[in-house]
Amino acid sequence: MKDLKEIYENRRAVNFFDKSKKIEDKTLEDIINLAILAPSAFNLQPWKIIAVKSEDAKKKLCPLAFNQPKILEAPVTLIITADKNGFLPDKKAWSTFEAQAGKESTEGAKQFAHSLYGTSEEKKIKFAESNAGLLGMSIMYAAQYYGVDSHPINGIDFDGIRKEFSLDEDTNVVMLITLGYFDKSKQLYPRLKRYQYSEIVTEV
Ligand SMILES: Cc1cc2nc3c(=O)[nH]c(=O)nc-3n(C[C@H](O)[C@H](O)[C@H](O)COP(=O)(O)O)c2cc1C
């Protein structure tokens, strides 16, 4: 059993990936199937992932990420997307909620979800991105658990990626996460300073 504290301490945004090391399909699957234990509002899981693995797809993605070389070097880059309307009453994901809560409570929850997220574009985006952001973090820690390095990327052309990968208008590109193994011939910059409790927490 790996120590969770160690996983936190060892995860870095790894800029250099060993091109010769692929990720086994089973390992990628294990990472995602662990990461999906991430929480989501009403358990709606409004996320989908495109796993960019082929050379062809990497070449399409790379210029849409300001030609960051890690897109070509890493064996896999995940495009994390979220459905802005993933809380609407007709969404299939409500069935898992209903299975536990029953029909009447689910109807109430659907109305509540609409009042929370459905009244402006900003709130829809908040719904999509807050949930998918938690999945993204969960993926990076799950990857670390399986000995796989990662790198989150938001220096990207969000709309360009949506068009290139034929995503519909409701689907937001939230972030990319490259996955692979650190190229040990390279030097990773030291971890940057983090603000501590006393600097970021206000107790009231
Ligand atoms: C949402 C998000 C977007 C990021 N986008 C980029 C990026 O486009 N390019 C890049 O080199 N690093 C990117 N980073 C990596 C950060 O610079 C890095 O996580 C930070 O410097 C802390 O380093 P550490 O993760 O190794 O602790 C991004 C990180 C996050 C969380």
Q: pLDDT tens digit string along 139-186?
A: 999 999 999 999 999 999 999 999 999 999 999 999 999 999 999 999
* Closest atom of ligand 1 to CA, residue 66: 8
Distance CA 37, CA 19 (A): 30
Q: For atom 19 of ligand 1, which residue has the closest CA?
A: 13
- pLDDT value, residue 28: 98
Q: Is the pLDDT of residue 192 over 80?
A: yes
* Closest atom of ligand 1 to CA, residue 188: 26
As a whole number of angstroms, the longest Cα–Cα distance in the chain is 59
- The backbone torsions φ and ψ at residue 202, rounded to the nearest 5 degrees and listed phi first, read -110, 120
* Closest atom of ligand 1 to CA, residue 12: 26
Distance CA 53, CA 34 (A): 20
For the segment 94-102, the average pLDDT, to the nearest whole number, is 94
CA of 51 to the centre of ligand 1 (A): 19
0.95 surpassed by pTM: yes
Mean pLDDT of the chain: 97
Helix/strand/coil for 50: strand
Helix/strand/coil for 48: strand
Look up residue 201 and give its DSSP letter.
Answer: -
CA of 92 to the centre of ligand 1 (A): 33
- pLDDT value, residue 79: 98
- Tell me what percent of the residues of the chain surpass a pLDDT of 90: 99
pLDDT band at 1, cuts 50/70/90? low
- pLDDT value, residue 2: 78
Q: For atom 17 of ligand 1, which residue has the closest CA?
A: 13
Helix (H) or strand (E) holding 177: strand 171-180
Query: Read out DSSP for 110-154?
Result: HHHHHHHHTT-HHHHHHHHHHHHHHHHHHHHHHHHHTT-EEEEE-
Pocket test of ligand 1: the residue of 134, 154, 194 to mutate, having most ligand atoms within 8 Å of its CB, is 154
Q: For atom 10 of ligand 1, which residue has the closest CA?
A: 153
- Tell me what percent of the residues of the chain surpass a pLDDT of 70: 100
For the segment 38-59, the average pLDDT, to the nearest whole number, is 98
Contacts of 150 (CB under 8 A, 6+ apart): 11, 13, 14, 139, 140, 143, 144, 177, 178, 179
> What residue ranges line ligand 1, CB within 6 angstroms?
12-13, 68, 152-155, 175, 191-192
pLDDT band at 46, cuts 50/70/90? very high
Distance CA 158, CA 65 (A): 9
